[in-house]
A = this chain, B = another copy of it.
Amino acid sequence: MTGRGPRGERGEQADKIVAAARRSFATRGYAATSLRSVAREAGVDPGLVTYYFRTKTGLLEEVMQPPEAFGATVAAAAEQPLERRGHALVQAALNLWEDPASAEILRSIILTAAQEPAALHRLRQLFSERVLAVVSHSLPDTERNLRASLISTQIVGMVMNRYIWQIGTVATLPAPAVTDLIAPTIQHYLTDPLPPSLSDDSRSPG
């Protein structure tokens, strides 16, 4: 939270600045982006960037905010009965990424977090507050962190191959086919027994 209130209350100029920062962090990298270059790309006075976001860190914080639909979309899928939740979670992820507006935000979050420690820290927070606690809803406490983490590996890998790298068959198939292929894996991580080696005492708190 930047303390500037919800997105709707802010000016159009601020939104333009955030969009420009998002593009620049994702394509040129965080280090190569200056407040001045963001202002130039947004077509606004550099003073306005400082006025709205104070520092590059302030701007980063804003860029790392998930899309508006994110929380509700993931939560709705996580509220599905456990036996349908695998399918619902894959569909939720694909819905967010097939929508160009939220895909651009998510893409920027991933690419910025890969190179900038402050962004990675924010991604970890996002993961634990908005994903971990949600997807494993109603699972036993001793298993939910591990199961949510396994789900994360499969969803993130799907996203990297299909949307970020656009590599391999998974990148070109229609979304419903991808859902049919990936959902059984998520369901497996949600509800199948864990391997015997993963008894409580060998598992870290994560």
Contacts and interface: CB of A to CB of B under 8 A. Distances in A.
A197 B180 contact: yes
Interface in A181-195: 181-182, 184-185, 188, 194-195
A160 B149 CA distance: 11
B152 A154 contact: no
Given A157-B160, A172-B204, A165 B32 contact: no
Interface in A16-55: 26-32
A48 to B, nearest CB: 24
A10 to B, nearest CB: 28
Nearest to A202: B177
A175 to B, nearest CB: 12
A26 B115 CA distance: 7
A153 B149 contact: no
Contacts of A123: 165, 167
**Copies of this chain:** 2
Contacts of A167: 123-124, 127, 149, 152
User: Binding site of A, secondary structure by majority: helix, strand, loop or mixed?
Assistant: helix
Nearest to A146: B169
B160 A177 contact: no
Q: Which among A157, A158, A204, A206 has the greatest number of chain B C-beta atoms within 10 A?
A: A157
A165 B113 contact: yes
Nearest to A120: B165
A177 B200 CA distance: 12
A64 interface: no
A138 interface: no
Given A161-B153, A165-B113, A180 B204 contact: no
B161 A160 contact: no
Contacts of A72: none
A169 B203 contact: yes
Contacts of A32: 28-29, 31-32
A145 interface: yes
Given A156-B157, A195-B180, A114 B149 contact: no
